[in-house]
Structure 1
């Protein structure tokens, strides 16, 4: 199990008197701490036009994080390709990979929030086809060769990037946690990622989606060793379950009220579906083992949510590193001996 830190950048300036500049600085400090504590990855979301997510250009903040860290992988979850020129995406994230010494993790998607499509004046009806066209452009651009592309949505003739990624193959994920979409991604040979409570109501539903994905991936002849499935769950760990719930619950509910899709769920709903990692280290270890059993091998811990104070985020991060991560290192050792 790999452990990552995920931030959506939901901000409530009027409610908490937290400016965008303060939130961005706090997330950078949390990223530096995650690097020190041994987290494998950090992930930043891209959103537009709403307090639900104020980070519009993840590659810029990830570049700042690269300067402050040494080891942690730098991920974006996700770049909404349909809102961007794919050549610009290829250039920006190639530069990030170079400046970070080859630490880029790239999550891609086609967008899902109606107000963002409206804001960019993009018709979402053909978003899947537009996404596929854009992805083909990025892959050609990253070869470093002169190329042309004459797709339905994007056309380029005889261009060549002067900066390409340091990694020979940048790890790519596509946001998909519904069965049909996950199977399509599997056939293409990419990894899937996502937020379980957005797409299903139980761990068993998730098991079926991952199983369908793996079957499609393997039937298409792709390498099983390259499968890596990151899932994002709200996380807050404290010494007692009562303290964890008391501190985290109002912030989870504020986040759920602010999100722009699937409104109506509350803390109790997600907890009943086992879609939260909130409690003692033992509680979280137990629930993570259930997710590992259904195929999750990379947890993206959403710790900065709903205006949760910076100091509380840092305490939870430290407790996870000290008491949760070692349990999975020991389990990995035992499995390797068998």
Structure 2
């Protein structure tokens, strides 16, 4: 088992954006020194619940401020990005970090984000699958050629190439949908589990489902540890912890 931290970097008016982002970098640096093994950060837009809109820029700072922990995106919302640029950015972060980068990706789900980005949410899953295929091809040797519904590329040389081969480990964020779990397993890609899945108590079922589908597709899976996120509050006693968190979730989730 590995221990990590996950943050979407929430913001409150009591702090500036600068203070909020720097505070998280300090937490990341401290976590790395304490021996935390994995650091995951998530992209969001247009909400106080997550202000990390420039996720790759920030991951560069995280790479520079850490020495040991693996660092990863949880997630990059793939339909919002040019997949070639995602491949380039991921390769760059992999190089800067010395091969410590994990690329977590997802299709996205928040309507206001798709509206603000001018992307049709009804096409997000189709776009996601095509973009994921393109970015993986970018890390291959030689020139990239691709003809799809959303991406058409002819004879381009994508550099730099990542340190890790064939590329940084990819993870796909899923909810409780059997279709999304099945797709990840069909591609032999590990899943990221958390958020509503954990809150609803569905994590064991989703993890088991992924292992079963990996078996169905003939992919080795017993050796793979899946990242699972859950909220944790630490206090000297259970009673103090329960008293401290009363009403806390409601406050955190206020818009």
Question: What TM-score do you get using the length of structure 1 for normalisation?
Answer: 0.71
Instruction: State the match for 2:207 in structure 1.
Output: 210
Preserved CA contact (<8 Å) 1:177 1:199: no
Residue by residue, what CA displacement relative to the aligned partner does 1:43-95 show, whole Å, maximum 9, x if unpaired? 11100111111111222112112112111111110000101111111111110
Q: How far off is 1:255 after superposition?
A: 2.2
Q: How far off is 1:189 after superposition?
A: 0.7
Preserved CA contact (<8 Å) 2:91 2:168: no
SS in 1 for 2:229: strand
Residue by residue, what CA displacement relative to the aligned partner does 1:258-292 show, whole Å, maximum 9, x if unpaired? 4xxxxxxxxxxxxxxxxxxxxxxxxxxxxxxxxxx
SS in 1 for 2:239: helix
Q: 2-side partners of 1:257 and 1:198: how far apart?
A: 20
Between stretches 233-242 and 84-93, larger displacement belongs to: 233-242
Q: 2-side partners of 1:134 and 1:210: how far apart?
A: 25
Structure 2 unaligned residues grouped into runs of 5+: none
Residue by residue, what CA displacement relative to the aligned partner does 1:167-192 show, whole Å, maximum 9, x if unpaired? 11311110113133212211221111
2:191 corresponds to 1:192:
yes
Q: Which has the higher contact order (CA 8 A, sep 6+)?
A: 1
Instruction: State the match for 1:158 in structure 2.
Output: 155
Instruction: State the match for 1:275 in structure 2.
Output: none
Q: 1-side partners of 2:242 and 2:251: how far apart?
A: 14
SS in 2 for 1:122: coil
Q: How far off is 1:197 after superposition?
A: 3.0
Select the residue among 29, 40, 48 that pairs with 1:51: 48
2:252 corresponds to 1:255:
yes
Instruction: State the match for 2:20 in structure 1.
Output: 23
Q: 2-side partners of 1:11 and 1:198: how far apart?
A: 23
Question: What TM-score do you get using the length of structure 2 for normalisation?
Answer: 0.94
Preserved CA contact (<8 Å) 1:177 1:192: no
Structure showing the higher helix proportion among its residues: 1
Preserved CA contact (<8 Å) 1:186 1:216: yes
Structure 1 unaligned residues grouped into runs of 5+: 259-338
Instruction: State the match for 2:236 in structure 1.
Output: 239
Give aligned pairs, total: 253
Q: How far off is 1:199 after superposition?
A: 6.7
Structure having the higher Rg: 1
